[in-house]
Amino acid sequence: MKIIMLGAPGAGKGTQAKKIAAKYNIPHISTGDIFRANIKNGTELGNKAKTYMDQGLLVPDELVVDLVVDRVRQEDCVNGYVLDGFPRTIPQAEALDKALAAIGEKIDHAIDVNVPDENIVHRMSGRRACVGCGATYHLEYAPTKEEGICDACGKELILRDDDKPETVKKRLGVYHEQTQPLIDYYTNAGILKTVDGTIDINDVFQAIVDILGE
């Protein structure tokens, strides 16, 4: 069972990817983890990636694909895997398909966790972080006992720049521009499934299980 997760930043696709990995006993693979592992182990691909990252440059698509394909060929991926945060663009998706085809494999499901932008902006703008200990809260979903005060250390809570509506909207704009075409790409491939990401986390997961099978 080889799965790709699609969804805007803040849609909750990482949470669902973890739940899928646990239920079906397949690895949850994020590009961030692959980069860290390869750099830590000083692999040839990792060292290459590091030279770009050290200069503040984006790691080129071919190298990202090489890293991902190298990861999915490892033994623990024999029954499948769930890719989280990759591919992000059409060139990456095409390169991945090509590399998988070369080893006789293909992606089985692309799952889009769909949440309207306004919901994501609303969710993010409710987040609060403690200036003292860094603990995070949410005005609606994880409120503190006393408003604006950290339960753990008593310091003040703030809305981080990353969670401010204007920042979130900018990020969503980039997402739609780059990743929306992937929705069409996987629709054409006949493997796109969309789930409503606005409902309860466990209900979203049930909808995914309905797609993948028990």
Give the x-and-dash track for 27-66 against Zn ion (CB under 5 A).
----------------------------------------
Of 153, 158, 189, 211, which lies in the binding site for Zn ion, with binding defined by CB under 5 A? Answer: 153
Q: What is the DSSP string of 161-192?
A: GGGSHHHHHHHHHHHHHHHHHHHHHHHHTT-E
- Which residue numbers are catalytic? 13, 88, 127, 160, 171
Q: Tell me how many residues contact Zn ion (CB under 5 A).
A: 8
Report d(CA 37, CA 34) in Å as an integer.
5
Give me 192's structure tokens.
């796109």
For Zn ion, which stretch binds (CB under 5 A), given 29-37, 38-46, 66-74, 152-160? 152-160
Task: Please choose, from the candidates 115, 124, 100, 118, the residue with its C-alpha nearest in 3D space to the C-alpha of residue 4.
Answer: 100
> What residue spans of the chain are helical by DSSP H?
13-24, 31-40, 44-54, 61-72, 90-102, 117-125, 165-188, 201-212
Give the x-and-dash track for 120-149 against Zn ion (CB under 5 A).
----------x-xx-x--------------
Give me 120's structure tokens.
């994501």
Would you say 158 or 201 has its CB closer to Zn ion?
Answer: 158
Contact 111, 195 (CB under 8 A): yes
Report d(CA 214, CA 208) in Å as an integer.
10
Would you say 103 or 133 has its CB closer to Zn ion?
Answer: 133
Min dist CB 132 to Zn ion, Å, is: 4
Min dist CB 127 to Zn ion, Å, is: 14
Min dist CB 155 to Zn ion, Å, is: 5
Note whether 150 binds Zn ion by CB under 5 A.
Answer: yes
Q: Which residues bind Zn ion (CB under 5 A)?
A: 130, 132-133, 135, 150, 152-153, 155
